[in-house]
Each structure stands twice: as C-alpha cells, then as structure tokens.
Amino acid sequence: MSSYMAKVNAERKPSNFEQQWWVIDATDQVVGRLAATVATILRGKHRPQFTPHQDTGDFVIIINVEKVKFTGRKLEQKSYQSYSHYPGGQKIVPASEMMQKHPDRVLISAIKRMIPRSRLGRAQIEKLKIYKGPQHPHQAQQPKEFKPK
C-alpha cells in the first residue's frame, strides 16, 4: 500500500506560505462544530498546498468565546476531568461550571483534541488566540472575518 506525500522543495516550504489571520465570532456557535472548523484552519487543510508533516495553517482569533453554546443536554451532562497523578488528585468539573469560570478552556480543549499530539500540533495550537470579549490586540495583522457554516 502506498500513499502520496508531498516533497519539500523551495516553493512548498512553510516559510514561503503567506499565513493569513482570521477572526471568528463565536456568538451562538456550537462548540464542536466551531472547534472542527478552527482545527482545519490551524492545520492548513483548507489550502491546496496542505502537507501533513508541515505547518501550512493560518492564525485564528476567536472573539466572544463566552457566548458559545452546547447542543442537547451537554451543558448538564458533560464534564471535564483532570488528574494530578497524586492520590486523590482527580478533579471533575461540570461543563456548566467550566463555562461560567473559564469559557476559553472549553474551546481550547475541544480544538486541542482535533490536532496532532506532536511537536507540529503544539506549533499549530500556538497560532490560536482566544478572547472573551469582542476586542482583540491583533488589528495590526489585518485579520479577515471568517464565517463558520
């Protein structure tokens, strides 16, 4: 079984790609659908030059993250858990409490799970900027507005 892998040459290097900046308004967006769209942009899968082993993605700015919503009864049923690897160090936080305290962490955790768990994925997640309100400090980059479906 063979698979296609794009070769690295002068025109396909990530340094030769013009990375764009996108602004996404998260008002009334569903968490999972928004995360899937953002992960696609961060990875660069929306470009014809996409190569899985290169960082060809764009920068994404998400504003109004506190206004995202869950579908169904996920707000009551879903929970986020963390473990400190010490005895009794497991913490389980319901999604409703997480949305009140840290709405940005809800979206970050959803997006992180949709990109590779590698050095490349960590470089791609650094291109994500999330803000709770409608203001962001990236006007100098001249971001374009992106309308998720």
**Each residue's pLDDT tens digit, 102-146:** 999 999 999 999 999 999 999 999 999 999 999 999 999 999 999
Structural domain contains residue 117: yes
Structural domain contains residue 24: yes
| Predicted local distance difference test score (pLDDT) of residue 17 | 73
| Predicted local distance difference test score (pLDDT) of residue 14 | 60
Structural domain contains residue 83: no
Structural domain contains residue 134: yes
Domain count, the chain: 1
Q: What is the pTM of this model?
A: 0.88
pLDDT one-digit tens code per residue, 46-61: 988 888 988 889 999 9
- Phi/psi of residue 66, nearest 5 degrees: -75, -10
Q: SS3 for the chain, per residue?
A: CCCCCCCCCCCCCHHHCCCCEEEEECCCCEHHHHHHHHHHHHHCCCCCCCCCCCCCCCEEEEECHHHCECCCCHHHHCEEEEECCCCCCEEEEEHHHHHHHCHHHHHHHHHHCCCCCCHHHHHHHCCEEECCCCCCCCHHHCCEECCCC
Structural domain contains residue 26: yes
Task: In whole angstroms, give the CA distance from residue 53 to residue 39.
Answer: 15
Tell me the average pLDDT of the chain. Answer: 91
CATH number reported for the structural domain that contains residue 41 in this entry: 3.90.1180.10
Structural domain contains residue 56: yes
Structural domain contains residue 114: yes
Domain that holds residue 135: 19-70+102-145
